[in-house]
A and B are shown apart, each in its own frame.
Chain A
């Protein structure tokens, strides 16, 4: 794995981020920075705040205090231009969330046309390229319900890539898939990593995280508990991570 130099400009930076849902204090001062081209995997127990942290980066949740900078956008600022933030950030969820009434191709061309104002021909060219990238060039005319879960998830990735984001966020994108379908989705993500895409992966696939990620963040009770390279999973420093690894695998 080619390690992205840590001297690259930082594209995602969280500083002392707090987030509460009512009385539930979910993020208790989360800080981390991701240089351009790096792949970061976030691991941790259910309920430790992994998804919440990811959603805060794309302003799907609004933080209570702290700062988040993403590609030069101040995400914590109420006056942020959401449209521009979301052109720079792609996000893929566990449930693929494809638009069921549109073909694969239409799913992908919708945002480039509606948001970026691309012509039909330009959008089609992008759809063709991103579908090839995820290995589904032959499925352009299919409807989502005609595809397997793994194929749908790859279309969802292609749909995000079509907006040419600077950062991709993945929230447990293989958790709903059978083991044999998981592989095809992980391969796509790995190719993206090799292509130099900056990515944040929330994942339960420990081997995959260790292999693909430059940095691993272990979250525990709303805090960044331990952080380090893939090696960290073999030599956990804290009893919590050791415990998580022995039970979680």
Chain B
């Protein structure tokens, strides 16, 4: 127990950490947005009366949820290059993350959609709305509102899981820590710093998602503040 902390050399590498954090954000943000949209479409597909489509969406979700993310990242990275597609590691990582978060979003959104009372769908149908309009006006927003806490957790998990892409040499936060520690011989300090950085990113992300929820779910905002009219 005579370890003496020395953060000086690690902290001196802050511009590298900043760059790494920026790359982590560049991976997480588009992966979350694209993955959520794809996952929502997948949930609609799963609920479809078209058997093969519903089965296909279900199979996709099961495959992704029952294999490790690291393997998925390798599969996309080496798979694409084996097929002759020369893509940068960043692109391969983004594709793998989208595939992953879409599957989890699909499961979560499906639960939200299934929780909408059948009577509301019938009422919408009786008013003459098409199936697409029913989804857009009656199902989507309340479904998302119901499962928003679960979605938030999943998106934060995804941001943390981007660390895995360091394995295919994407220079995000974790890869930065690895590089800095090999240059400074201060691994403990480097990973403490990177843990703090992830923690800050997580808190920032939760705050952002909370504000987004407040903006989108107007009813919750109005009723929450007790403004009864």
Tell me if chain B binds chain A: yes
Name A residues whose Cβ lies closer than 8 Å to a Cβ of B.
58, 60, 82-83, 86-87, 89-91, 93, 95, 97-101, 110-111, 114-115, 139, 141-143, 145-146, 156, 159-160, 163
Residues of B close to A97: CB separation below 8 A: 117, 119-120, 122-123
B130's closest neighbor in chain A, by CB?
A: A83
Contacting B219 at CB < 8 Å: which of A100, A111, A160? Answer: A100
Name B residues whose Cβ lies closer than 8 Å to a Cβ of A.
117, 119-120, 122-130, 133, 137-138, 141-142, 145, 217, 219, 222-223, 228-229
Given contacts A115-B127, A143-B223, 4 further A-B contacts (CB under 8 A): A101-B141, A101-B219, A143-B219, A163-B127
Residues of A close to B133: CB separation below 8 A: 114-115
Main secondary structure of the interface of B (DSSP, over half): helix
In the A-B complex, the 5 residue pairs with the smallest Cβ-Cβ separation, listed nearest first, are: A111-B127, A97-B123, A97-B119, A115-B128, A86-B128
B119/A83 in contact, CB under 8 A: no
B223/A145 in contact, CB under 8 A: yes
A141/B128 in contact, CB under 8 A: no
Residues of A close to B223: CB separation below 8 A: 143, 145-146
A142's closest neighbor in chain B, by CB?
A: B229
Residues of B close to A163: CB separation below 8 A: 127-128
Q: A101-B142, A143-B223, A146-B228 are in contact. Are A93 and B119 (CB under 8 A)?
A: yes
A99/B122 in contact, CB under 8 A: no
A115/B228 in contact, CB under 8 A: no
Closest beta carbon of chain A to B92's beta carbon, Å = 39
Closest beta carbon of chain A to B224's beta carbon, Å = 12
